[in-house]
């Protein structure tokens, strides 16, 4: 008995992080210092029923839990999911997930694993991850913007996630930056940030510019439907003027949006994450310039634009696991 | 001695509220239930030096303090001022005040009155007033928008004022709603909410519409430079089409802005205050319609747009005094 007790005490508690995406779900076991000890991935899209999804998730996670020293070491489960609601633990009408309507995901997972489970939207989870382990370490006021296929956001003010009255706060990708602008095929709204500053938006901008200008471009050698944000980046670093114009245009809109966000919550920094940030100064330089140009004096030259330095493959799991320490710890 | 002690115990503590505006400064003695017991006003503009302003304020307030039972009853002083900073107690580079640079206003007042003094910007004070006594009573998540000569804002999330990293959060009047839109004569930025949805903005819109359209209008009988938001309102309630178009245009821009604010902090309600709200449904109806039209589904039909029902002459003093209870109480 004494020996067993000693062994238990010497083992640090661990957390499970689960990041549910439209295509795949990543999960892992994470220690309090942000080390991902074990991780794996299953398909999300392959499960038409949420119950079969949770069964497979459970089976796969049990193996990792065993490797980590058993369920006694696990403090809880943090889940990041699109349209995830912190208050209710539900995922509501997520357009990119196979399960429709309102899914009581936290409860389903808690019942299966018999571990306390906290759920929030994926960008909020990413923000908590950045605050605990990443670029926003030690900050009490920052905004996390994920620039991927879509544009997500998590807002931290006075050390707390802004969740709002209903738990759905922080949908900055859907704020309207260009009134009567480009139509978003998912929301059917016009001129949202996401319709321009996502990977999808960059591809559309490139295709529009190729159509509306006579400018020579490396991108003209590629079939139009294959012009994506990666191809635009590759052309731009070879000095392609049109491709660079695509980033300037995107940065102009992103910078204007960031200025508006700064005038809302006056953060210490804005942390950018996701595929588009790999384009570095091609996108960051015009973004910074246009953010500053649209800020009133009191906010100028004080808000940092940072790029997340978390390892991309771990970041989603880390962020989700951080919920366990941040909220229950 | 015993008698004096009894008298003291029976007296409720009071707070002083001071609202500093560009033209005048209102102040009063307020009880915890939001009753303004005594109030008065002095000129702000008449004092080139902040010291002489504080001397006059002190002299005038002493009379009110005496009437209220003496300084022993006063718990503290709350001050709302343009560009007021909660953290530092300073007023910084306020374009509409006679005192330039950074003014340590809370400290100056505290030294003069020997009472704890809390300062924040005027719209934040108004938000706290609404939360304690007004339309936002009992709410933990709301946004206060003041539609006066300018457009101010105070944001409450999770029961707390959003102050930001530097104490200057909540400058929603300066967010850019129409990129490359109307120039703001104060900030020199283009297309901010304040350049359209303030009384000043409404007057400019009316003057522009009169110039650019051939539409008959009652407003054409008034010299152009006298067309202000009040005249536009008077014409609109008489059925004047152009005047109603001015409100529709203003509501379209305000509604779009409110949608963006909702997608940031997901409030239970937006509380509107100030001169423009007197136009009632002329401005509220298009504002509501365009807010809803720009919201993604998850936010639709759940955010109330409320008009402050605090007596306008008291509201500023109430809001400032509420800081004393909210923060120190």
B77 vs B28: CA distance, rounded Å: 10
Is the domain of A179 the same as that of A302?
yes
pLDDT computed for residue A94 by the predictor: 86
ipTM over 0.90 threshold: yes
Give yes or no for B304 touching A (CB within 8 A).
no
Distance CA B265, CA A172 (A): 9
Test A266 with B169 for CB contact under 8 angstroms. Answer: yes
- Residues A182 and A247 occupy one common structural domain: yes
Among A226-240, A272-286, A299-313, where is mean pLDDT lowest? A299-313
Residue A161 and residue A111 share a domain: no
pLDDT in tens, A123-147: 999 999 999 999 999 999 999 999 9
> A190 CA to chain B: closest CA distance, Å?
8
Rounded Cα distance between B228 and B207, Å, is 9
Task: Decide if B297 and A93 are in contact by the 8 Å CB cutoff.
Answer: yes
- Whether the per-residue pLDDT at B8 is higher than 50: the answer is no
Note the residue count of chain B: 329
Q: Specify the pTM.
A: 0.92
Strand partners, B39: B28
If 0-12 CB within 10 Å is exposed, 13-18 middle and 19+ buried, where does residue A63 land? exposed
Cα four-point dihedral sign A217, A223, A229, A231: negative
- Sequence-distant (6+) residues with CB within 8 A of A89 are A104, A105, A106, A107, A117, A118, A119
Q: Which residues of B touch A298 (CB under 8 A)?
A: 83, 92-93, 166, 168, 171
Q: Does B190 share its domain with B91? A: no
Query: DSSP for B58-85?
Result: HHHHHHHHHHTT-GGGEEEEEEEETTB-
Q: What's the rounded Cα separation, in Å, for the pair A277 and A148?
A: 9
Q: Test A162 with B157 for CB contact under 8 angstroms.
A: yes
Residue in B with minimal Cα distance to A298: B168
Which of B82, B294, B295 to mutate to test binding with chain A, by most A CBs within 10 Å of its CB? B294
Beta-carbon separation of A174 and B296 below 8 A: yes
Q: How far apart are CA B291 and CA B283, in angstroms?
A: 12
Identify all chain B residues contacting A141, using CB atoms and an 8 Å cutoff.
Answer: 164-165
Residues 190-229 (A) with a CB less than 8 A from some CB of B: none
Q: Is the pLDDT of residue A9 over 80?
A: no
* Pair of tokens at residue B101: 């640079």
Give yes or no: residues A143 and A271 share one domain: yes
> How many angstroms separate the CA of residue A70 from the nearest CA in chain B?
37
- Which of B158, B268, B302 is the best residue to mutate to test the A interface, defined by the most A CB atoms within 10 Å of its own CB? B158
User: Could you write out the DSSP letters of every residue in A245-269?
Assistant: HHHHHHHHHHHHHHHHHHHHH--SE
User: Both A324 and A242 in a single domain?
Assistant: no
Note whether A119 and A143 are same-domain residues: no
pLDDT tens digit string along B246-263?
Answer: 999 999 999 999 999 999
Nearest-CB residue to B174 (from A164, A178, A296): A296
Whether B215 and B319 map to the same domain: the answer is: no
Both A195 and A71 in a single domain? no
DSSP string, B143-206: EEEEESSSEEEEEEETTEE---SSS----GGGSBSSTT-PBPTTT--BSBTHHHHSHHHHHHHH
Interface of B with A in 82-121 (CB under 8 A): 83, 92-93
Helix H, strand E, coil C: the string for A293-324 is: HHCCHHHCCCCEEEECCCCHHHHHHHHHHHHH
Residue B50 pLDDT level (bands cut at 50, 70, 90): very high
Domain shared by B66 and B203, yes or no = no
Interface touch A263/B179, C-beta < 8 Å: no
Q: Is the pLDDT of residue A3 over 70?
A: no
Write down the pLDDT at residue A208: 97
Nearest to A298 among B92, B160, B162 (CB): B92
Q: Is the pLDDT of residue B289 over 70?
A: yes
Range of the structural domain that residue B142 is part of:
138-308
Contact B166 A92 (CB under 8 A): no
Q: What is the pLDDT of residue A245?
A: 98
Each residue's pLDDT tens digit, A43-59? 999 999 999 999 999 99
Do residues A143 and A239 both lie within one domain? Answer: yes
Q: Across chain A, where does the E strand assignment appear?
A: 14-20, 24-31, 36-43, 74-81, 91-92, 102-103, 117-121, 142-147, 151-157, 160-161, 269-273, 304-307
> In CATH, what number is assigned to the domain containing residue A196?
3.30.420.40
Instruction: Return the C-alpha torsion angle A266, B273, B122, B100, nearest 10.
Output: 90
Please name every residue paired with B28 in a beta bridge, in sequence order, or none if there are none.
B17, B39
Question: Would you say the C-alpha torsion B1, B7, B10, B12 has a positive or negative sign?
Answer: negative
If asked whether residues B192 and B101 sit together in one domain, one would say no
| B31 beta partners | B14
pLDDT in tens, B125-146: 999 999 999 999 999 999 999 9
Q: Does A179 touch chain B (CB under 8 A)?
A: yes
Question: Domain count of chain A?
Answer: 2
Using CA atoms, how far residue A329 sits from A309, A319, A323, in Å, is: 24, 15, 9
């Amino acid at each position: 008995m004494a020996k067993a007790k000693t062994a238990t005490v010497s083992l640090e508690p661990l957390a499970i992080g689960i990041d549910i995406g439209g295509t795949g779900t990543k999960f892992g076991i994470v220690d309090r210092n942000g080390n991902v000890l074990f991780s794996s991935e299953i398909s999300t899209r392959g499960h038409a029923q949420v119950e079969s999804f949770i069964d497979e998730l459970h089976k796969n996670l049990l193996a990792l839990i065993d490797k980590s020293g058993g369920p006694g070491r696990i403090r809880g489960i943090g889940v990041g999911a699109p349209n995830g609601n912190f208050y209710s633990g539900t995922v509501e009408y997520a357009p990119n997930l196979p399960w429709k309507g309102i899914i009581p995901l936290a409860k389903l997972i808690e019942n299966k694993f018999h571990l306390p489970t906290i759920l929030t939207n994926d960008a909020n989870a990413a923000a908590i991850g950045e605050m605990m382990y990443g670029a926003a370490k030690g900050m009490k006021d920052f905004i996390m913007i994920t620039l991927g296929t879509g544009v997500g956001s998590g807002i931290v003010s006075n050390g707390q996630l802004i969740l709002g009255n209903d738990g759905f706060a922080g949908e900055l990708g859907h704020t309207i930056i260009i009134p009567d602008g480009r139509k978003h095929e998912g929301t059917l709204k016009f001129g949202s940030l996401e319709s321009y500053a996502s990977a999808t938006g960059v591809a559309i901008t490139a295709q529009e510019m190729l159509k509306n200008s006579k400018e020579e471009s490396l991108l003209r050698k590629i079939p139009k439907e294959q012009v994506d944000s990666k191809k635009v980046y590759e052309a731009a670093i070879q000095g392609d003027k049109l491709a660079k114009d695509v980033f300037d245009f995107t940065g102009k809109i992103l910078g204007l949006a960031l200025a508006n966000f700064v005038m809302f919550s006056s953060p210490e920094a804005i942390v950018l994450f996701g595929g588009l940030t790999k384009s570095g100064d091609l996108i960051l330089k015009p973004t910074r310039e246009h953010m500053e140009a649209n800020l009133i004096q009191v906010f100028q030259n004080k808000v940092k634009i940072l790029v997340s330095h978390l390892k991309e493959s771990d970041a989603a799991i880390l962020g989700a696991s951080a919920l366990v320490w941040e909220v229950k710890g």
